[in-house]
Amino acid sequence: MTEQISKNRREGKYLTFRLGDEQYGLGILSVKEIIGMMPVTALPQAPSYVLGVINLRGKVIPVIDLRRKFAMPAIVQTERTCIIVVEQMEPEGRARLVGIVVDEVSEVIHVKAGNIEDAPQLGAMGESRAILGLAKEESGVKILLDIANALNARDYTLMGKAA
Amino acid sequence: MFKNMTVGKKIAAGFTLMIVLAVLIGGVGTWKASEVEVDVKDLNETHLPLTLLMGKVAETAGDQDLAATMFVLHGEERFVADFNRLDELEDGYFQELTAHITADQDLVSGGWLAMIEKLAGQHDEFVQAAQKMMAAARAQDQVLIDSAADLLEKDAQVFKKSVADFNDINTNEAKAVAGAALAASQSSKVEMGILSVVILLVGSVLAYLLTRAITKPLSQAINDINEGATQVAVASGQVSSASQSLAEGASEQAASLEETSSSLEELTAMTRQNAENAAQANVLMQEATVVGGRANASMAELTSAMKEVTRASEDTSKIIKTIDEIAFQTNLLALNAAVEAARAGEAGAGFAVVAAEVRNLAMRAAEAAKNTSNLIEGTLKRVQESSVLVGSTNEAFAGVSLSSAKVSQLIAEIAAASKEQSLGVDQISTAVTEMDQVTQQNAAAAEESASASEELSSQAEVMRDTVADLAALIGGNAAFLANGPLVSSQRVLPRRRQVSVPRRNTLTAQLAIPFADDEEFVDFQGAV
């Protein structure tokens, strides 16, 4: 019963993007906005996957290189490279904005609950918790990310410091 | 030493020796003969007349005795007259005897004159006794006659005895002289015989040596000359065969020269053809060069046109890029709108549809821009390929142009070479003509050589005859006689060949080289 609820909870609209060869999905409600690539100010002593910070309309937000975060090989940025600004609810209940760099933003899709499956429990717990589920679409399987789990707590501390 | 002397000296030396020996034998003979002559002269002029005179003295004395006796007996005065006449005669004889003895100094010194004087004295005593007897008879005194007769007889006896003694002495002396003469003549005979034998021996030896000394080198010389004549004959045969092969070579050469001449004509024709072809090729190449120039110009135009196309495509590409960017931005905007619409929940449902539509349009615009971009890219690629092709074509044309320039140059060289070749062929023609003349001269030389070898052969024959004469002169040489037939048999064969072969060859050469204007050749032909 709880599983069903959980599944139902996962149904909804997702913003899909491409990272490498794979398509990922982000819950539409966690997305604040999509912006094109812009100059990033690098931060000293930051983890390698933190590119730096950007000034988004007077608001300085950190930018994560999701490729590095997912231990994927780095590529040269193209004109398709975008920053997705996601809104992250912190434990204190305060909303926080984080930019994640993706190869290309695809579209907004509606995923039905019947098309979502759990990720197989193979690797470390942290890794699998980052994946909300796998959406089976006609264009292929899309990896639905739980962005809060994907960017772990330490990152948030770091981000908070940065902010 | 004897061997090194000349024949003349040898002969002179031999004759000198013989003359010396002859003079020696003559001298010895003359000397001996003069010895004998002295003895015989002594006998003849002294001893024989002495004997004769002494006989006459004895006879006359006897006649006086008889006349005195007859006067005594008959008393006739004529007997006295006879007696006186005889006495005078006797005196004359004594004078003759004295003269004879006086002529010979040896007799004078030998006491012969004294003997004659003694005889004359005895004769005077005998005459006195006879006159005394005749005076007694005239007085007719018998006693006195008798005593006178006795005295006369005694004196006569003494006188006769002296005459006999003288005669004995004279005879002995004559015998001695004759014996000496005989001995001298005998020794002379022996000496002359020995000398004759010596001369005979020396002369024989000398004659043998001289003959040997003269005939041996002469025979050697004859042999050598004969050998030389043989070799000359052989050599003349070789010369003949050499002149034959020379004539054959000349005829072959002449034939070759004719072939060469015709080949040269063909060569000349080919050279001319080459020159003409080269000229035509030159014209064609010039045309080709003009065409190549035009092609070059066209290619340049093509290149510039393609550059224009490229530039236009690039411009278009930029525009397309802008369109693509706009589509991307529009897409982002549509996505943001969709996000906003989703956040708005039910209220944003309519907006979401609009956003989706906008996004579709953006996607289509992007798609179209991408297609156009691909097309332009393809165009650019093709233009680039074409550009490469044009470049290579250009290069090819440049190569063609270069090649045609080279070809032109080569053709010009060929033309020049053809010209030189033509000159060379002319020179070769001249050379062939000269060679032809040389061949004629060779043929003539071969003929001359043949006649010379014939002459040589006849000279060898003459030499051989001379040698034969010489050999006969020195009395038949065995070696020469042995060589003789060999020489003649070797000599005849090449001579016959000499006569026939050159004629045939010159005729062949004449047939091979029929130059009517060659005067020498006509003479040459006539000479054959």
Look up the ipTM and state it: 0.82
Q: What confidence score (pLDDT) does residue A124 get?
A: 52
* Residue of A32, A79, A105 lying closest to B335 (CB–CB): A105
Residue A18, min C-alpha distance to chain B (Å): 14
Residue B263 in domain: yes
pLDDT of A56 > 70? The answer is yes
pLDDT of B517 > 50? The answer is no
Q: Are residues B190 and B272 in the same domain?
A: no
Q: Are residues B302 and B367 in the same domain?
A: yes
The confidence band for B491, taking pLDDT boundaries of 50, 70 and 90, is: very low
Q: What confidence score (pLDDT) does residue B509 get?
A: 39
Q: Are residues B124 and B246 in the same domain?
A: no
Mean pLDDT of B152-160: 84
Which CATH number does the domain housing residue B368 bear? 1.10.287.950
Interchain CB distance below 8 Å, A108 and B339: yes
Residue A59 φ/ψ, nearest 5 degrees: -115, 120
Residue B105 in domain: yes
Residue B372, min C-alpha distance to chain A (Å): 18
Residue A82, min C-alpha distance to chain B (Å): 9
For chain B, give the percent of residues with pLDDT over 90: 4
| DSSP letters for B169-220 | HHHHHHHHHHHHHHHHHHHHHHHHHHHHHHHHHHHHHHHHHHHHHHHHHHHH
Q: Are residues B93 and B232 in the same domain?
A: no
Residue B398 in domain: yes
Least confident of A34-38, A141-145, B115-119: B115-119
Interchain CB distance below 8 Å, A36 and B332: yes
Q: What confidence score (pLDDT) does residue A62 get?
A: 93
The confidence band for A35, taking pLDDT boundaries of 50, 70 and 90, is: very high
Q: Are residues B147 and B258 in the same domain?
A: no
Quote the tokens at residue B110: 């030998």
Q: Closest Cα partner for B472 from B137, B278, B127, B222?
A: B222
pLDDT tens digits, residue range B311-355? 998 898 899 999 988 998 999 999 999 888 888 888 888 888 898
Q: Are residues B171 and B312 in the same domain?
A: no
Q: What confidence score (pLDDT) does residue A122 get?
A: 65
Q: Are residues B256 and B204 in the same domain?
A: no
Mean pLDDT of A89-118: 86
pLDDT tens digits, residue range B433-442? 898 888 888 8
Residue B218 in domain: no
pLDDT of A47 > 50? The answer is yes
pLDDT of A160 > 50? The answer is no
Q: Distance (Å, rounded) from C-alpha B484 to C-alpha B463?
A: 12
Establish if A29 touches chain B: CB-CB under 8 angstroms. Answer: yes
* Residue of A32, A79, A108 lying closest to B338 (CB–CB): A108
Q: Closest Cα partner for B229 from B489, B467, B476?
A: B467
Q: Are residues B28 and B60 in the same domain?
A: yes
Q: Distance (Å, rounded) from C-alpha B71 to C-alpha B126?
A: 16
Residue type, B280: Q
Q: What confidence score (pLDDT) does residue A103 get?
A: 92
Give, for B27, the enclosing helix (H) or strand (E). Answer: helix B7-42
Of B155, B190, B212, the position where a domain reaches its end is B212
pLDDT of B284 > 70? The answer is yes
* Residue of A32, A34, A79 lying closest to B335 (CB–CB): A34
Domain spans of chain A, in order of start: 2-162
- Residue pair B467/B229 in contact (Cβ under 8 Å)? The answer is yes
- CA A138 from chain centre, in angstroms, equals 22
Q: Are residues B84 and B198 in the same domain?
A: yes
Determine the structural domain holding residue B32 and report its residue range: 7-212
Residue B170 in domain: yes
Q: Are residues B172 and B27 in the same domain?
A: yes
CATH architecture of residue range(s) A2-162: Beta Barrel (2.40)
pLDDT of B523 > 50? The answer is no
Q: What confidence score (pLDDT) does residue A128 get?
A: 55
Q: Are residues B206 and B251 in the same domain?
A: no
Of B179, B212, B245, the position where a domain reaches its end is B212
Total number of domains in chain B: 2
Establish if A126 touches chain B: CB-CB under 8 angstroms. Answer: no
Q: What confidence score (pLDDT) does residue A162 get?
A: 45
The confidence band for B506, taking pLDDT boundaries of 50, 70 and 90, is: very low
- Residue pair B66/B79 in contact (Cβ under 8 Å)? The answer is no
Start-end of H helices in chain A: 2-10, 66-69, 125-130, 147-150, 153-162
The confidence band for B127, taking pLDDT boundaries of 50, 70 and 90, is: confident
Residue B2 in domain: no
* Residue of B332, B342, B356 lying closest to A34 (CB–CB): B332
pLDDT of A61 > 90? The answer is yes
In A, which residues are within 8 Å of B337 by CB distance?
none
Q: Are residues B244 and B113 in the same domain?
A: no
Q: What confidence score (pLDDT) does residue B189 get?
A: 85
Quote the tokens at residue B65: 């005795």
